[in-house]
A and B are shown apart, each in its own frame.
Chain A
Amino acid sequence: MNILLQDGFFAAMAAVGFASISNPPRRAYPCCAILAAVGHALRYLLMNNHVVAVHIILASGIAAFAIGILAVRLALVAKCPAETCFFPALLPMIPGMYAYRTVEAFVLCLCHSDESTFIHYLYHFAYNGFTCSIIILGMVVGANIPIFLMKRMSFMATKMD
């Protein structure tokens, strides 16, 4: 439970910081923090449990879908577009280590001409690159689907009552 709370806390910190780069209205910050904490903690829970440990690709997709649904609801409270809330919340789920290992393996591929070593690093490049790309694709599709499923609600968030 402690790990889960820590995970959520740091995800919220990361989301608020990254949100500031894209200039959101101030009232959107708490929503970004809540969404990031819930999304990242959910992914952690899906990947690290004793019942069924879900693969990172599926876990990221499910967590992003949950973020998307919550974002549409919270956007109505914050009176701002749903994407303002969910974009920073997705960032803490970016598979940074996979991305780094892809670049690292690419550099090492170029540094080695010996066939077996080259193939070894090419395997690392392809494995990490594919995994990273599919995770990101799953995340952005998962988060966008709720906006299209709940179109009416999604585009009424900025309407004043």
Chain B
Amino acid sequence: MTTTKTCSEIGDFLSEYATWLWGCGATCIRLEKNVRRMAQTLGVEIDMGIMPTHIYATVWRHDRSDCYTVVRAMHKSAISFDVNTQLSKLSWDLADGRCDFEQARRMFEHIKQTPSANPWLVLLLASVANASFCRLFGGDAVAMLLVFVSTLCGFRVKQMMLADKVDVRIVFACSSFFSAVISAGGHLFSWGSTPEIALASSVLYLIPGIPYINSVSDMLDGHYICAYSRLMDGIVLTACLSLGLCCGLVVMSMKII
């Protein structure tokens, strides 16, 4: 089976697989392990250079009878641990002989079609989550309700703007602004006993946790360029949400501290 496949076919498949795995939020160590696992099973050697926007891969046979080099842009998509899980499972299925190369390619095409979760359900769950977050910081019931409403509005703004393909940095600033302005109402009208906590936790659903976590993972694995890139992504998004919060505070003329 493996001997009939050329290095170009295998290289194209593995490089596209790698770009999708990166796009759904996998770390560099997972990406390398999954791709090498499949390459070994397919009877080829592979060396990869992982860059934040591109992947460079060279695939060759042990006897050097065939060789293929490919450069491919990273796939841009929303973070999806479901796709990450399915792609990781695919690499094991191929390595353990549960599927052959053609079946793996078909399964990969199927995984690419994985639908995202129901946006309304995510909206509700994220709002409940942020209200719980407020409770963890010591917020009272009024503060929780305020955070629930401000998250509901801010997160909906985020979903709508992302659907309209607006730049993610602008999306973060606008969502944070909306949430901050709504939750600042608690401060202005003295609702409840912990309005400051409501204001503080109203924008936390926007914290870009995955870039930070993946950045440290890449750093521990020695992929410093990718680690730096992900760290900068996280910092830029955090700065944008802080900007939205600042503007919200200024617009509502908050008398803070």
**A contact residues vs B (CB 8 Å cutoff):** 7, 10-11, 13-18, 20-25, 28, 40, 79-81, 83-84, 87, 90-92, 94, 96-97, 99-101, 103-108, 121, 124, 136-137, 140-141, 143-145, 147-148, 155-160
Contact = CB atoms under 8 A, between A and B. Distances in A.
Contacts of A121: 257
Interface in B231-257: 242, 245-246, 249-250, 256-257
A140 B78 CA distance: 21
B81 A28 contact: yes
B121 A140 contact: no
B191 interface: no
Interface stretch (B8-16, B132-140, B167-175): B132-140
B13 to A, nearest CB: 18
A91 B91 CA distance: 29
A28 B86 CA distance: 13
Contact of B82 (A25, A101, A159): A25
B73 to A, nearest CB: 22
Contacts of A7: 136
Contacts of A141: 216, 220
B137 A84 contact: no
Contacts of A11: 132, 136
B128 A13 contact: yes
Contact of A81 (B79, B88, B121, B215): B88
Contact of A13 (B92, B132, B213): B132
Interface of B: 25-27, 29-30, 33, 78-86, 88-89, 91-93, 96, 98, 116-117, 121-122, 125-130, 132-133, 135-137, 196-197, 199-201, 204-205, 207, 209-210, 212-217, 220-221, 242, 245-246, 249-250, 256-257
Q: Is the interface of A mostly helix, strand, loop or mixed?
A: helix
A140 B204 contact: no
Q: Is the interface of B mostly helix, strand, loop or mixed?
A: helix
Nearest to B133: A14
Contact of A80 (B85, B132, B137): B85
Contacts of B127: 17
Given A103-B245, A107-B246, A107-B249, A90 B83 contact: no
A2 B25 CA distance: 37
19 contacts: A10-B136, A18-B129, A23-B78, A25-B86, A28-B85, A80-B88, A83-B81, A83-B217, A94-B207, A96-B200, A100-B199, A100-B245, A103-B245, A103-B246, A108-B257, A140-B212, A140-B215, A145-B220, A160-B89
A107 B81 contact: no
Contacts, number: 167
A160 B204 CA distance: 36
A155 B31 CA distance: 11
Contacts of A15: 129
Nearest to A161: B96
Contacts of B89: 79, 158-160
B197 A92 contact: no
A74 B140 CA distance: 33
B125 A16 contact: yes
Nearest to B122: A20
Contact of B132 (A17, A83, A100, A148): A17
